[in-house]
């Protein structure tokens, strides 16, 4: 359950943050790549334009040189004249012969062929250029047969972009580029300046800077949104993991932290024991009834804080619900753990001198690092439930038997509704015999579960579970229906019926209209009320005395016989006899266990019988197994006997066969 919640929270967190973060990176990355791409294209266009200009100029020089020399009559004067015409645009011109010798040069700055060609151009493409130049020369660009220009990256590397902003007139590129134009018999080499100024790019840079600024602002805004989202998520997380009563961590946090801790410790240190603790403050409801819920919650908060102070590093504590707390403690074994828990209780005790608080504790050790915290806690709860009330300190340790019991409980709970629908619960009847004549005087209806896979299941294996989960209310109603229906059937068949008693669990005594409810069921079958007896346990007297007294009075007024079951078992109180007027007292079977007629138990039985007689009650002795006991009870003028000596509980068909013969 808690795990599902935890998963949902995690999914919620992941869903909101990650798409936004990824989205931001993708958008910003995309825009930046686009900007850089656009800028590079722009720059290359400018560069190509400048290079193309130099190239065209060089071609013009080469062609003019070819033209004046067509008749092989070039003279230095003609060359000087030609050079002078273009000298504003040219830096230098030189002509190489077929063997690489310099035929003519415009200045002393004669480019040595080896280094002259730091930049090489071949109008016909790269391959030709390579042929034309020396090995160390680099072709900075080439023009293919379609006239498209391809610029070598080395040329781009020569350019200093850092100046663009400082000064638009700053030269970004100021390179001497030798254009090498191969002609028929010679090569014309023209030196042009490649100049690119900052202002050529400045507008583009400004535009792009603006874009970058927008991107940055957008990113900042987005980041801010993300940060606030994370902050608000952290806050939400804090709320999700906070207990509203104690202000500390809540149950979800307990499960999360404990799970992490268990995984960590169990993988690491094998000698360290971890224990999941369930601690319950007893009688919290009564405390709230007396002092109110606000005081109750304040008390829980104070207990939480006192416990918190005693937690060691890595240990976990949380308020679970009502007056329950969960803890994950580390210890070396039972002894140390009991000592710690007792110390905790003592500290709480000394902090509340004005009230006596009582606690019950369940412990379940962690065995495997993959153990589920909720299961461990439930085991600890079971250990607390099964630990005796009178133990001091009341600490119960979970064991494997309890685990089997839990599995059985889970099975019972899973099957019970279906069992009721499929009529798997069967009524068994145990006869009650009168003393003296020893004839059938009544019977008790006892339930049996005929389970489709488990077979015959006795009531002690499921009644206590039903009493805990409330299903006993449905089962008792079912039994009452079955008994009333059976009595109606027998009456209709003309048989002489004896009263059949039905057990009424103490859980029923929370409803004030219990008597009306019982009447309503029985009346559906139109049977006289005196053929039904209702067995109440004495313990119901201690729950809600008033409801019990009123119900008994109403039931007796309605003509039902009411008996007090198990008298003398558990905490019996003669006081209940004083206040409660009932018809039958059933003396508990425990009085007759391992006892002979001289036993103290027998003495008490005879006194109880005497007392009941004086109070006008009938006596039924339960669990009678021997002739001796029967004789003793007959002597004591006990009215009826129920026990294996006469008969065990049996199915209705058998009861009919044995006792309904006309
Ligand atoms: P209980 O109401 O005290 O029922 C008497 C129990 O004592 C029955 O056990 C019965 O079989 C047993 N018993 C009778 N005579 C002897 C005897 O001579 N020797 C021994 N050793 N035992 C004897 P059972 O049927 O197992 O029922 C156990 C308990 O389960 C009942 O105790 C009753 O508290 C509860 N129970 C059974 N059926 C119902 C039901 O329909 N509703 C409720 N609420 N409780 C039921
Ligand atoms: Ca009974
Ligand atoms: Ca009984």
Question: Any idea what the Cα angle at residue 322 is, between residues 320 and 326, rounded to 5°?
Answer: 25
Render pLDDT for 207-251 as a digit per residue (tens, 0 to 9). Answer: 778 888 888 888 888 888 888 888 888 888 888 899 999 999 999
Report the pLDDT value the prediction gives residue 269, as an integer from 0 to 100: 59
Report the pLDDT value the prediction gives residue 301, as an integer from 0 to 100: 96
With a CB cutoff of 8 Å and minimum separation 6, the contacts of 306 are 344, 347, 348, 351
Nearest CA to ligand 1 atom 13: 623
Q: How far is the CA of 601 from the centre of ligand 2 (A)?
A: 20
Q: How far is the CA of 124 from the centre of ligand 2 (A)?
A: 116
Nearest CA to ligand 1 atom 26: 459
What is the pTM assigned to this prediction? 0.58
Report the pLDDT value the prediction gives residue 412, as an integer from 0 to 100: 97
- Choosing from 456, 461, 503 the residue with most ligand 1 atoms within 8 A of its CB, the one to mutate for a pocket test is 503
Nearest CA to ligand 1 atom 6: 623
Q: How far is the CA of 625 from the centre of ligand 1 (A)?
A: 14
**Ligand nearest to the backbone CA of 642:** 1
State yes or no: pLDDT of 421 exceeds 70. Answer: yes
Helices (H) and strands (E) counted in the chain, each on its own, are 21, 21
For the CA atoms of 42, 48, 51, 53, what is the dihedral angle to 10 degrees? -100
Report the pLDDT value the prediction gives residue 129, as an integer from 0 to 100: 35
- CATH number corresponding to 251-398: 3.30.70.270
Report the pLDDT value the prediction gives residue 118, as an integer from 0 to 100: 42
User: Picking from 119-133, 353-367, 464-478, 610-624, which range would have the lowest pLDDT averaged per residue?
Assistant: 119-133
Q: How far is the CA of 389 from the centre of ligand 3 (A)?
A: 22
State yes or no: pLDDT of 72 exceeds 70. Answer: no
For the four alpha carbons of 363, 367, 372 and 375, in that order, the dihedral sign comes to negative
Ligand 1, residue 458: give the atom nearest the CA: 26
**Interatomic CA distance for residues 435 and 637, integer angstroms:** 8
Q: Give residue 242's region: left, alpha or beta (phi > 0; psi -120 to 50).
A: beta
- Choosing from 482, 532, 622, 626 the residue with most ligand 1 atoms within 8 A of its CB, the one to mutate for a pocket test is 622
Ligand 1, residue 535: give the atom nearest the CA: 2
Nearest CA to ligand 1 atom 43: 503
Render pLDDT for 181-193 as a digit per residue (tens, 0 to 9). Answer: 777 777 777 777 7
DSSP state of 451: E
Q: Which of 133, 208, 185, 172 is nearest to 47 (CA)?
A: 172
User: Picking from 71-80, 233-242, 504-513, which range would have the lowest pLDDT averaged per residue?
Assistant: 71-80
Ligand 1, residue 586: give the atom nearest the CA: 3
Q: Which of 650, 512, 496, 623 is nearest to 568 (CA)?
A: 623
Render pLDDT for 260-274 as a digit per residue (tens, 0 to 9). Answer: 999 887 665 556 789
Q: How many residues in the chain? A: 662
**Interatomic CA distance for residues 273 and 338, integer angstroms:** 13
Report the pLDDT value the prediction gives residue 448, as an integer from 0 to 100: 97
Report the pLDDT value the prediction gives residue 462, as an integer from 0 to 100: 96
**Interatomic CA distance for residues 131 and 180, integer angstroms:** 12
User: Picking from 1-15, 54-68, 295-309, 311-325, which range would have the lowest pLDDT averaged per residue?
Assistant: 1-15
Nearest CA to ligand 1 atom 21: 623
Q: Which percentage of the chain shows pLDDT scores above 70?
A: 85
- CATH number corresponding to 416-659: 3.20.20.450
Q: Which percentage of the chain shows pLDDT scores above 90?
A: 46
- Choosing from 463, 534, 537, 633 the residue with most ligand 1 atoms within 8 A of its CB, the one to mutate for a pocket test is 463
Residue 113 pLDDT class (50, 70, 90 cuts)? low
> What strands lie across the sheet with 102-105, from one edge to the other?
102-105, 92-96, 187-197, 171-182
Nearest CA to ligand 1 atom 19: 623
Report the pLDDT value the prediction gives residue 520, as an integer from 0 to 100: 97
**Ligand nearest to the backbone CA of 445:** 1
Q: How far is the CA of 566 from the centre of ligand 3 (A)?
A: 4
Residue 168 pLDDT class (50, 70, 90 cuts)? low
DSSP state of 459: G
Render pLDDT for 597-648 as a digit per residue (tens, 0 to 9). Answer: 557 888 889 999 999 999 999 999 999 999 999 999 999 999 999 999 999 9
Task: Answer yes or no: are the C-beta atoms of 652 and 486 closer than 8 Å.
Answer: yes
Ligand 1 binding site (Cβ under 6 Å of any ligand atom): 430, 446-447, 458-460, 463, 472, 476, 479, 503, 505, 565-566, 589, 622-625, 642-644, 649
Classify burial at 13, counting beta carbons within 10 Å of its beta carbon; exposed 0-12, middle 13-18, buried 19 or more: middle
**Interatomic CA distance for residues 96 and 259, integer angstroms:** 86
Domain ranges in the chain are 20-207, 251-398, 416-659
Residue 136 pLDDT class (50, 70, 90 cuts)? very low
Q: How far is the CA of 535 from the centre of ligand 2 (A)?
A: 6
- Choosing from 419, 425, 446 the residue with most ligand 1 atoms within 8 A of its CB, the one to mutate for a pocket test is 446
Strand blocks (E) in 140-220: 141-143, 149-151, 171-182, 187-197
Structure tokens at 62: 């080469």
């Amino acid at each position: 359950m808690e795990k599902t919640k935890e998963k949902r929270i995690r999914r919620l967190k992941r869903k909101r943050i990650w798409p936004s973060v990824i989205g931001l990176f993708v958008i910003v990355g995309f825009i930046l790549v686009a900007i850089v791409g656009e800028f590079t294209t722009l720059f290359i266009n400018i560069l190509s334009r400048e290079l193309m200009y130099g190239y065209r100029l060089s071609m013009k020089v080469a062609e003019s040189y070819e033209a004046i020399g067509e008749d092989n009559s070039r003279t230095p004067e003609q060359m000087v004249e030609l050079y002078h015409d273009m000298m504003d645009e040219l830096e230098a011109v030189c002509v190489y012969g077929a063997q690489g010798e310099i035929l003519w040069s415009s200045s002393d700055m004669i480019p040595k062929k080896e280094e002259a060609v730091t930049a090489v151009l071949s109008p016909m493409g790269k391959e030709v250029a390579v042929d034309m130049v020396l090995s160390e020369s680099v072709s900075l660009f080439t023009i293919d047969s379609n006239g498209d220009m391809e610029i070598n990256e080395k040329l781009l590397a020569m350019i200093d972009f850092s100046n663009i902003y400082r000064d638009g007139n700053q030269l970004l590129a100021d390179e001497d580029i030798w254009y090498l134009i191969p002609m028929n018999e010679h090569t014309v080499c023209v030196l042009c300046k490649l100049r690119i100024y900052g202002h050529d790019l400045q507008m583009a840079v400004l535009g792009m800077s603006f874009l970058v600024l927008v991107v940055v602002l957008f990113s900042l805004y987005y980041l801010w949104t993300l940060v606030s989202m994370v902050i608000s998520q952290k806050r939400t997380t804090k709320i999700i993991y906070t207990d509203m009563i104690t202000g500390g961590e809540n149950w979800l946090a307990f499960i999360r932290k404990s799970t992490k801790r268990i995984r960590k410790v169990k993988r690491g240190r094998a000698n360290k024991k971890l224990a999941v603790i369930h601690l319950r403050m007893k009688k919290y409801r009564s405390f709230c009834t007396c002092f109110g819920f606000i005081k109750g919650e304040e008390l829980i908060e104070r207990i939480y804080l006192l416990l918190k102070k005693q937690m060691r590093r890595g240990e976990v504590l949380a308020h679970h619900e009502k007056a329950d707390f969960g803890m994950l403690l580390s210890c070396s074994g039972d002894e140390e753990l009991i000592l710690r828990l007792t110390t905790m209780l003592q500290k709480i005790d000394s902090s509340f001198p004005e009230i006596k608080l009582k606690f019950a504790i369940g412990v379940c050790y962690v065995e495997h690092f993959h153990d589920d915290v909720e299961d461990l806690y439930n085991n600890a709860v079971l250990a607390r439930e099964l630990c005796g009330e009178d133990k001091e300190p009341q600490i119960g340790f979970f064991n494997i038997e309890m685990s089997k019991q839990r599995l059985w409980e889970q099975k019972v709970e899973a099957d019970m509704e279906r069992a009721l629908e499929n009529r798997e619960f069967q009524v068994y009847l145990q006869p009650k015999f009168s003393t003296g004549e020893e004839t059938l005087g009544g019977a008790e209806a006892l339930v049996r579960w005929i389970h489709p896979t488990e077979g015959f299941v006795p009531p002690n294996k499921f009644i206590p579970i039903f009493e805990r989960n409330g299903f006993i209310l449905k089962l008792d109603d079912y039994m009452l229906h079955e008994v009333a229906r059976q009595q109606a059937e027998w009456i209709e068949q003309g048989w002489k019926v004896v009263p059949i008693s039905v057990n009424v669990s103490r859980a029923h005594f929370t409803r004030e209209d219990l008597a009306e409810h019982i009447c309503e069921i029985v009346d559906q079958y139109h049977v006289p009320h005196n053929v039904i007896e209702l067995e109440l346990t004495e313990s119901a007297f201690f729950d809600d005395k008033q409801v019990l007294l009123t119900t008994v009075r109403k039931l007796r007024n309605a003509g039902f016989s009411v008996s007090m079951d198990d008298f003398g078992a558990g905490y019996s109180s003669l006081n209940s006899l004083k206040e409660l007027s009932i018809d039958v007292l059933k003396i508990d079977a425990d009085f007759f266990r391992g006892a002979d007629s001289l036993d103290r138990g027998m003495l008490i039985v005879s006194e109880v019988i005497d007392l009941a007689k004086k109070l006008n009650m009938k006596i039924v002795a339960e669990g009678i197994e021997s002739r001796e006991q029967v004789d003793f009870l007959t002597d004591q003028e006990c009215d009826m006997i129920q026990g294996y000596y006469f008969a065990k509980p049996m199915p209705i068909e058998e009861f009919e066969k044995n006792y309904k013969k006309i």
